[in-house]
Amino acid sequence: MYAKEMVKQSLPLIIFCGLGAIVAGSTLGVMADLFKEIPGLIVVIPAIIAMRGNISTAFGSRLGSAYHLGIIDADNLWNEELKQNIIGSLVLSFFIAIIIGALSYVTSLLFHVYPNPIKLISIVLLAGIISAVILTMMTIGIIYLVFKRGYNPDNITGPALATFGDIVSMLCIFGSAILVEMML
């Protein structure tokens, strides 16, 4: 019976995730002109998407584990455990974004692409922070809805957050690149 319930909970979400991946890929296509204007930006894309997906899904998994352990539930979601996880997720996102920006700049140089380091690191940092805040709120919302519906968070949060992470990260990179390009 467990397999049937897992398929019932996960299948619609997995189909939606496939569509989400298409949206994220389409955003990449729209960014083609920005890649010419901001050398090295293409190097950032896989790293920042992986960062957001990894941090968000780990955050969702920790909340799912806390649920299974009885530390949090739908009526007791906003507690010290959640607050500490939010702080950890946001601080980690900030520091990893700086590291990704610096490593992207160095990697670009190794391939004889010479980006403006301030622009590149600013784009990564801005996109990382904005996507961290958005995805943290989305994670809490998804966890809350999953708890309220009585679903197993392990079946829902991973795929949902990975897909939303891709979409949100791509949109944040795109928006941050446009904003930084206008300002610098």
Q: Identify the CATH number of the domain in which residue 127 sits.
A: 1.10.357.20
| Cα–Cα distances in angstroms (integers) from residue 120 to residues 36, 162, 182, in the given order | 13, 24, 13
| Number of independent structural domains in the chain | 1
Residue 166 is predicted with a pLDDT of 87
Residue 3 is predicted with a pLDDT of 78
For residues 40-54, average pLDDT: 87
Domain for residue 34, yes or no? Answer: no
Give the structural domain span for 122. 40-183
pLDDT tens track for 61-81 = 888 888 888 888 777 778 888
| Cα–Cα distances in angstroms (integers) from residue 18 to residues 101, 160, 174, in the given order | 28, 10, 21
Domain for residue 28, yes or no? Answer: no
Contact 109, 39 (CB under 8 A): no
Domain for residue 21, yes or no? Answer: no
| pLDDT greater than 70 at residue 125 | yes
Contact 92, 56 (CB under 8 A): no
| pLDDT greater than 60 at residue 1 | no
Domain for residue 32, yes or no? Answer: no
Domain for residue 13, yes or no? Answer: no
For the ranges 4-13, 40-49, 150-159, the one whose mean pLDDT is highest: 40-49
Domain for residue 71, yes or no? Answer: yes
> How would residue 39 be classed by pLDDT, with cut points 50, 70 and 90?
confident
